[in-house]
Structure 1
Amino acid sequence: MTKSGTPDTPTGPTLESGERPTLKTIARLSGLAVPTVSRALADAPDIGKDTKARIRDIARQIGYRPNRAGVRLRTGRTNVISMVMSTEHDMMNHTARLISSVSSGIRHTPYHMIITPYFPDEDPMVPIRYIVETGSADGLIINQIEPEDPRVKYLMENKFPFVTHGRTAMCDQHAYFDYDNTAFGALAVRALAARGRTRIAMLAPPLTQTYGQNMVGGATQAAAELGVSFQVIPGADAHCDNPVIEQAMGPLYTSDTPPDGLIASSIGGCVTMISSVEALGNQLTQDFDMVAKEAITFLRRYRAGIMIVDEDIDHAGNFLARALMHRISSPAEPPMQHLARPDPDMTF
């Protein structure tokens, strides 16, 4: 309302009486041709950034939503990307943060995201084949990557756009974002050795996956160089449920030479390891030290004294989104690839 009490005059683009928001509506309001509007909304590289921003702003203000069936008929695309995720991840890991950051990465683009889950007892190829064969998405983001990942081979053979969160043995041929877990493993061992710890144990990621192999490899090499002992905790990995991890920790700390340095690759694993060891009468920073990697700020509030290495999942999700859209729009160009590294000189 104005000071005089009369209604405010509407500002910005408006629809005519009974008009539905369509490409023609945006063309009328912007003064541009319908094909230009369509290409701007599709993020075509030959349309200027200012023009794209103006078109998207008008579309947002009038409530324009593309008709997916029409888009698919015209372009062969769905404007949908899918994240194919295992349901075995617990709430303490970075999955929720990754979903949020990918969503942010496709904001203000024509794309929408769906989550395609698969269960631990299910063949992970099932959802991949379904999406490719039905054309229900334009591209995929996958994680839990193995060195010879059959999903990656299948997608490459079918020339279907995808990006991996992690690297394969053939990663030079496809788009990926990865964290340098070899560097993390080495950094963790060096940090523990600097505090005088000589018996180091890691709750490793599954060793079938590339990042688990990389992390153990980096730690093993650093331990050999520094002359300290290193072992992977038998009977459990970072994806196991808490009772399994607790059971694995018991024999280590009832032996004559219990570990005095621990490495955790996940928040949940770190919490369970510390609580298990403390229940046996040991105290953090006195009887043992812990190095852990986390993607959300939690461990600093859980215990003082944990040596924490941050993993920027926001960066990962944003890159994955951009890399996948690039594969969809420019399949002939080299794939986008990035390896994030922890600061080798960081202090705790």
Structure 2
Amino acid sequence: MAKATLKTLAEYTGLSVTTVSRALKNGDDVKQPTKDKVKAAADKLGYRPNLSGLGLRTGINYNICAILPVTKPGDMVGDVGILGLIEGLTAGLENTPYNLTVLPLVPGQDPLEPVKYAVENNLAGGVIFNLTQTKDERVTYLNENNIPFVSFGQTEMSLEHPYVDIDNYDIGYRAANYLYERKRKDIRLISSSRIYTYSWHKYYGVKRASMENGGCFEKDKDIIFDTDVVNYREYAKELMAGSNAPDGIICGSEISACGIVAGVQDAGKVIGRDVDIITIETCDLPSFFVPPIPGFRQDLHSIGRKLSKFIVMNIERDGLDPSETQYIEKTTLYNR
């Protein structure tokens, strides 16, 4: 079947090529019923804009490159939220001329490497990346090369830049308060690597709650960095069997929570009696644990849509104030 073109749509709808083109671009001079008619025809006939020709006419590279981490060989389950994030990124680019390309960030790889690859090979009119660090070289590189970008996560740099983030400070604060309200006094936080900005935001949230509740939470003894854990189940079993077993644990993901729950039970401890566990989640998986545990839900589909919206704004609007493309989203507690 021949590829549908503007001319094909014009013949199918009985409209002029000019009207069809303006309808697809949501032109103000085209009435809504006409727009709906043209878009329905485009969907039915499988019309896709010619991005090469469009790019030549407008001077815009319509490829959006999202650089996302992948699991290392041997991992049974990776980041269960990545698919939701990609779905959101794709949904956010619907009804735009932009296409999404996903490049992997391999474990152990320099995070700047895939960014440079995308830029030097003209794969990206705009770049989206995550796992931000406090002083992130990718921000500096993309800014110096005038490449529009949005980061999923904040930095601590003086350079103002677009970002979308989860309120990890709020997560840490609310999660710790949840445990303190249940009379827990010895809390552990399972956190991502200390190189990431959000891990420190979470720590400061827990620290604040600890101070307000008369607790004692110290980063050197009460944070469990996941880079130091090979097997969460074995780690939790050993932790709970020791003389300094915690009575409250904040898990950083459904995957770590799954191992922690199993290890606590292997140690002969009862969740809800000896220890309370709360997690950060991206799906309903913790509701199937035995027993189910509460979680702070991150809506990564929503985050993906926001990232796509911001990257398009940064590509198409010159002189955009960075504050217009900075957004922090709070999580929702699922109290099981």
Same fold (TM over 0.5): yes
**Match status 1:181 vs 2:168:** yes
| Aligned partner (choices 242, 259, 268) of residue 281 of structure 1 | 268
> Match of 1:304?
291
**CA 1:263 to 1:21, structure 2 compared with 1: closer, same or farther past 3 Å?**
same
C-alpha contact (below 8 Å) 1:236/1:245 kept by paired residues = no
**Match status 1:338 vs 2:327:** yes
Give the Cα separation in 2 of the matches to 1:218 and 1:235: 13
> Match of 1:88?
71
The count of residues paired between Structure 1 and Structure 2 equals: 327
Deviates further, 46-55 or 135-144: 46-55
Give the Cα separation in 1 of the matches to 2:138 and 2:29: 35
CA deviation after TM superposition for structure 1 residue 71, in Å = 2.8
Counterpart secondary structure, 2:313:
helix
**Match status 1:31 vs 2:12:** no
CA deviation after TM superposition for structure 1 residue 253, in Å = 2.2
Give the Cα separation in 1 of the matches to 2:315 and 2:26: 12
> Match of 1:130?
117
> Match of 1:237?
225
| Aligned partner (choices 246, 253, 258) of residue 266 of structure 1 | 253
Deviates further, 121-130 or 210-219: 121-130
Deviates further, 295-304 or 23-32: 23-32
Give CA deviations for 1:69-116 in whole Å, capped at 9, x if unaligned. 323333333422121011138435311111112112222322221210
C-alpha contact (below 8 Å) 2:232/2:259 kept by paired residues = yes
Residue type matched to 1:111 in 2? Answer: Y
Residue type matched to 2:6 in 1? Answer: L
Deviates further, 198-207 or 107-116: 107-116
Residue type matched to 1:338 in 2? Answer: Y
CA deviation after TM superposition for structure 1 residue 19, in Å = 7.7
Give CA deviations for 1:168-214 in whole Å, capped at 9, x if unaligned. 12487222111111111011111101111000001112111011010
CA deviation after TM superposition for structure 1 residue 320, in Å = 1.0
Give the Cα separation in 2 of the matches to 1:146 and 1:48: 46
**CA 1:327 to 1:55, structure 2 compared with 1: closer, same or farther past 3 Å?**
farther
> Match of 2:154?
167
Residue type matched to 1:179 in 2? Answer: I
**CA 1:234 to 1:259, structure 2 compared with 1: closer, same or farther past 3 Å?**
closer
Give CA deviations for 1:26-73 in whole Å, capped at 9, x if unaligned. 355463453x654654567x6668365444333223332233432333
C-alpha contact (below 8 Å) 2:298/2:332 kept by paired residues = no
CA deviation after TM superposition for structure 1 residue 143, in Å = 0.5
Residue type matched to 2:134 in 1? Answer: P
> Match of 1:194?
181
CA deviation after TM superposition for structure 1 residue 285, in Å = 0.4
C-alpha contact (below 8 Å) 1:131/1:137 kept by paired residues = yes
Residue type matched to 1:270 in 2? Answer: A
> Match of 2:44?
61
Give the Cα separation in 2 of the matches to 1:55 and 1:176: 35
Give the Cα separation in 1 of the matches to 2:3 and 2:184: 69
Residue type matched to 2:329 in 1? Answer: A
Residue type matched to 2:63 in 1? Answer: V
**CA 1:19 to 1:235, structure 2 compared with 1: closer, same or farther past 3 Å?**
closer
C-alpha contact (below 8 Å) 2:191/2:223 kept by paired residues = no
Taking structure 1 as the reference length, what is the TM-score of the superposition?
A: 0.83
Give the Cα separation in 2 of the matches to 1:254 and 1:204: 21
**Match status 1:324 vs 2:311:** yes
Give the Cα separation in 2 of the matches to 1:193 and 1:269: 21
**Match status 1:295 vs 2:282:** yes
**CA 1:308 to 1:343, structure 2 compared with 1: closer, same or farther past 3 Å?**
closer
Taking structure 2 as the reference length, what is the TM-score of the superposition?
A: 0.86
Compute the RMSD of aligned alpha carbons: 2.8
- Give the structure with higher Rg (CA): 1
> Match of 2:104?
117
Residue type matched to 1:249 in 2? Answer: A
C-alpha contact (below 8 Å) 2:126/2:148 kept by paired residues = yes
Give the Cα separation in 1 of the matches to 2:155 and 2:29: 35
Deviates further, 221-230 or 255-264: 221-230
Q: Is there any run of 5+ residues in structure 2 with no aligned partner, and where?
A: none
C-alpha contact (below 8 Å) 2:231/2:259 kept by paired residues = no
**Match status 1:105 vs 2:92:** yes
Give the Cα separation in 1 of the matches to 2:5 and 2:319: 32
Q: Is there any run of 5+ residues in structure 1 with no aligned partner, and where?
A: 1-17
